[in-house]
Amino acid sequence: MLAHLSSLIALLLGGLTFLGPLIVWLLKKDQSAFVGDQAKEALNFQIAVLIVSLICSITCVGLILVPVVIVADIVFTIMGAMEANKGVYYRYPYTIRLIK
């Protein structure tokens, strides 16, 4: 759950949202399969959000979509944290799984 919420906290503080899940994944991937999987899933989603945000920021039309991406990031992150808290393997929609 911490991997999911760390990205939300970073988003609210205006920081890099992928750092929290990356740290959790690097520290816990060998200790717990569930925590490692969920941290990796959160990391992949935050990388995808970063890529989409950068592409949207470059284009003029994309600037209109950045708030939509931010709201979707918040909603899916909260859903992921709630499911992880229940012990359910959560899979983010619209994610590029770069880290296997």
Q: Mean pLDDT across the stretch 65-87? A: 91
Per residue in 77-99, pLDDT (tens digit) is: 999 999 999 999 999 988 888 88
Per residue in 11-45, pLDDT (tens digit) is: 777 777 888 888 888 998 889 899 999 999 999 99
More confident residue, 60 or 90: 90
Burial class of residue 86 (count of CB atoms within 10 Å of its CB; 0-12, 13-18, 19+): exposed
Enter the pTM of the model.
Answer: 0.86
Residue with tokens 């992921």: 80
pLDDT value of position 2? 78
DSSP codes joined into one string, 41-97: HHHHHHHHHHHHHHHHHHSTTHHHHHHHHHHHHHHHHHHHHHHHHHT-----SS---
Cβ-contact 58, 7 below 8 angstroms: no
Domain ranges of the chain: 2-86
